Structure 1
């Protein structure tokens, strides 16, 4: 959907509020009829308006996500940041995570003054990395945990989210004015899930992270369209980790989400 159509939807919310507000005013004036009936009618109107607003807000969110997904699927050499731009964009930031994040360093895109990651790391076991990130006094913090946690927590997505929250709280208490961005757990191939069934819970974990971001004032970054919309297979043979071609697109998307592009 075009931006102009998106903007039209934005106008529906205040318009609806004005309409219902006017009706409520008319039905609530003295002498307009039985008070009880008026109150019931007002309550019904308010209920309908609340439902309409919630539905419209959901439509807006769906449109925004659709546009973002389309943008990710259409990434090419003209829109992906090059190596120099990536270093410029993330200067002063910190990216926390496990082996998937650590590959940013292994492939040479960023150094350990930005990427604080460790192979096999879980979110609950990241105390040392969180402390290091805080000590760097970054301008932005990006977190990317979950691939190892799936096999630790299994069906207990709430336990994973609770431990993630503890780490976020540490950062927010030490760096209260620093924005925090939470990366999704990437989709996992059917073959990998068949081999390790606990990996199938990744979507539940992501739903929990979305709610956590809303609660904690963080920004959720959904990178799934990068792998789902690519014309090439971006997965390693294990069906969980990703190949080098994924990383410039991921870093570009993170930079876009945080407004870091130069």
Structure 2
């Protein structure tokens, strides 16, 4: 009987050794699997965080746009209820531009000395009035150009026009380092305007102007909403503006001023 038991000992050792190897292998596999799952979970968490951050940025941008739209509507309402407050806010402000800007002084909303504008003027005319600006020494300068510029053929590409506007803004900033300089978006033509093929790209020009001001840290005024809301206040030619349009335009400018 003793001899028989000794004969089975090697088999038992082999079985125990094999079992031990299997257990170790299982432990290793489980360890590797858990590590892989942890890495996968970490990546999923990281992806989730990135997604939430992107949503937060999108939501914040959307919220900012909504707040700005509310402010614009409030300013336009203010133009109806307290127009004197609107024009009083333009004290020590210079307006530069083309025939559309002429209306600010022609209709006696602003003093003529503070409106540097002529029919047919273009953005390149800004630098010719630097000395006049220095004498005025305004707190703010509003540039109101564009409708002549996009049809003259000098800047067939929006980016080129934006670069010219940047140069002119820098000229004003250099002459008046303490003044705030604002670039108005180009007011679109009204529904009765004689069509010019350049008008079809007006949105591209405004987009280029906005992008330029954001890149350079300049101030930009988007007039899209006020123009769309008050197309009935264009003159019969579809380009120039009726007197009542100016209070809304001015109120929209002040919206951007108040955001600074």
* Post-superposition offset of 1:201: 1.8
CA contact (8 A) 2:75 2:255 kept: no
May I ask how many residue pairs the two structures share in their alignment?
A: 224
* Post-superposition offset of 1:256: 4.2
Could you tell which deviates more after superposition, 48-57 or 64-73?
Answer: 64-73
Aligned CA distance change for structure 1 residues 131 and 41 (closer, same or farther; 3 Å): farther
In structure 1, stretches of 5+ residues that fail to align are 1-31
Q: Distance in 2 between matches of 1:177 and 1:73?
A: 28
Q: 2:56 aligned with 1:53, yes or no?
A: yes
- Across the aligned residues of Structure 1 and Structure 2, the Cα RMSD in angstroms comes to 2.8
Aligned partner of residue 248 in structure 2, secondary structure: helix
What's the CA shift string for 1:28-57, capped at 9, x where partnerless? xxxx95575466345423431332133112
* Post-superposition offset of 1:165: 0.4
> Which of 1 and 2 has greater Rg?
2
* Post-superposition offset of 1:259: 4.0
Q: TM-score, normalization: structure 2?
A: 0.74
Q: TM-score, normalization: structure 1?
A: 0.73
Aligned CA distance change for structure 1 residues 172 and 40 (closer, same or farther; 3 Å): farther
Higher helix share: 2
What's the CA shift string for 1:196-254, capped at 9, x where partnerless? 11122222122122212212323322233334224x72111221211111112222332
The 5 A counterparts of 1:1-262 are 33=35, 36-37=39-40, 40-41=43-44, 43-71=46-74, 74=77, 77-81=80-84, 86=87, 88-153=88-153, 155-192=156-193, 195-230=195-230, 233-259=232-258
CA contact (8 A) 2:96 2:141 kept: yes
In structure 2, stretches of 5+ residues that fail to align are 1-33
* Post-superposition offset of 1:158: 1.1
